A and B are shown apart, each in its own frame.
Chain A
Amino acid sequence: MKILVCVSKAPDTTTKIAFNADGTALNKDGVQYIMNPYDEWYALVRALELKEAAGGSVTIINVGPKENDTVIRKGLAIGADNAVRINSNGGSAMYIAKQIAEYAKGESFDVVITGKETIDENRSEVGAMLAEFLDMPFISYASKMDVAGNTATIDRDIEGGTETVEVDTPFVLSAAKGLAEQRIPNMRGIMMAKRKPLNVVEAVAFDDLVVPVHYELPPAKSAVKLVDPENMDELVRLLHEEAKAL
């Protein structure tokens, strides 16, 4: 089975988010990036599991500048066989989907997996657009996937429950929690990653249809205190002394 996993990078979850002066882009000063967890923990790991069970290959793809190579190499360290970076400074979801589709078209992948969303803007757009560009079926929010021959049985998270669907390859899938469990790259994998192919492909011309005009942060939340469930005395103390509710 030939699998393509689309990986994006996202600010580390501990990053304090700020925007540039005119509010049109994230202020990147001091921001540290990680691989988008839905791509890393679920999409990539399930792809590796399928490969380990039935053979084949796992390619990871990212659309972005050279700095993204660090995130890509993490994917290789976790176990992907090779990687492709479409050299570009990025753009809208449609732009990204177009770039990936252009590459994937000629490669006859059986399964293309994205994360259900990237945790920076949570738009869940790339997977569906990519499926459209590739003219493949799209299954979103997959929390379980088994493949037998050319047919995949997939559980999708839907409001209030789960839907089980069947689909024949090739198809595009977006991965949600539950699809697999995070694999932490070990040192041997990290060293091997440096020797695996990372091909850089130039982006195709594509005029973005959507341009961000302004970002705004939500109003600051008032502070919450988390109390360990074992620590009832502390909860009582806080309710008594601080919330003055008792």
Chain B
Amino acid sequence: MFENARPYRDTVKVKLGKSVKTRGIEVEMLSGADILVRSLQEENVEHIFGYPGGAVLHIYDALFKQNSIRHLLVRHEQAATHMADGYARATGKPGVVLVTSGPGATNAITGIATAYMDSIPIVVISGQVQSHLIGTDSFQETDMVGISRPIVKHSFLIKSATDIPLAIRKAFYLATSGRPGPVVVDIPKDMTNPTDLAPFQYPKELSMRSYNPASRGHTGQIKKAVSMLMQAERPMIYTGGGIIQGNSSEVLTRMTRLLGFPITNTLMGLGGYPASDRQFLGMLGMHGTFEANNAMHHCDLLLAIGARFDDRVTSTVSRFCPYAKIIHIDVDPTVISKNVVAHVPIVGSVNQVLEQMLVLIEQELPGRTEKQEKMLSAWWEQIEGWRGQDCLRVNTSHGSKVIKPQQVIQALYRHTNGEATVTSDVGQHQMFVALYYPFDKPRKWINSGGLGTMGFGLPAAMGIQIARPDELVVCVTGEGSIQMNIQELSTCAQYGLPIKIINVNNRALGMVKQWQDMQYEGRHSHSYMDSLPDFVQLVESYNHVGFKVTDIDELDSVLEEALSLKDKLVFVDVLVDPDEHVYPMLVSPNGSLRDMWLKKGVRT
């Protein structure tokens, strides 16, 4: 209602609280709600993604009375968390969420868990019932700090309006420093009461005796690592989301090129190293390329950076990299030697450690012997052999009109020059983007890797589009995933977000179906999506543009037209081959990284 009545930028003049003098310093007296908003302004917050309700009404009123922070109203709180998350992944700045108590808070949980698993800095402000009602099962009460505890980096329950500035200061610091992650600030309604004024002073300095994230790496360890790099015969670099979150792709690229070593990225690390570069072997792991997985298996030295040896990467741990000594760099000591023992652990900010290493590498490199150079080129020869298998070749039968899902992604790549920011949902389509859309830059590939949250793609794209109104943002989704947050088409209409949605429509929960084909003799237990909507009609009802493509010969022209509608949200419903599988795929259980399915019925 207010949205129609006045655009968000309208200024409403309000009387802020009076000020008082303490110890000669003028201190403003504000309500808790105003204190919160002012604190957020101090953190340079420009956007809040949220949804109102009883416990946060004072805060919404305070937001109404200012115009430096823009609030975006979603249709479901889960989408608010994914929007903030997408915003953070694309910009590196923390995303901010505001939800009410009870159902608002619980709806935010999936998004918080998604951000937690991928180490994304978001700050979630949740309303709570009035403090005297806490513990009485009052209306819309839920123990948000308790429910979110295992999926946050930290959380705060506000006990007094005076505590708000410090809590917000700490929340942003914790969310963004060290290994980033979500922070919850739970605020009982009475702490934001407009008639109870408290002094507002935003803390400039912040030190926490119990929190000191690592920065520089241990010099001795780094020396040791570099000397191992110099002596390696079959080296391999494996990097993850830490390179993206740690803004280290530039230094990583310099180092990798200098060394001349092969490199692979995890699903979360794609874009950390230019994917079109010859030294890049593609993604590794469950759906990694033949060459990346084989190079991992056969290497004698593994340099792991900002990666956490997730089970989708290692497959059977006891058979993982059987010949390799492992150097592991990460800002979070708990990931080192958690799943796979590191021979040389280095705890530190990835960026700083790589800079430190680079200095040494530049000194040592000229000393590399001819024999070592020979070993390295022999290694490359072996790798080129694997690469020659062309594991991503798409099987198309000549003259067929059927669209293969891989072709959709390849076409998207061509039509966007590989420069779009692409979000995805979860399933086969996600893997196809990871494999067929080579990202050359960081923060362009946005997906839920750790939690694998269907419903992530659209709201994440919305958050990115808010941050970058003029850039092309594409959401590649499936007809299953899109329906998990499809209500956000309404939000897109409200804010005019010109996202391009590519629905890789295989009429099935494709990834589930693939597993059922491979491991349950094709018994497709509940992996069908019956009663799909007519997506074109659906999006048109929100005043968006919809296209449907069923013929491979129409794919290019439709994509071209869709991308040319720069100011509109366009939904392209592409009906693809419903029986396609994602390959390569690691053999499981008990396989090593060189044991892969290469196509239906074909194993290494």
Q: Do A and B bind each other?
A: no
Chain A residues close to B by CB (< 8 Å): none
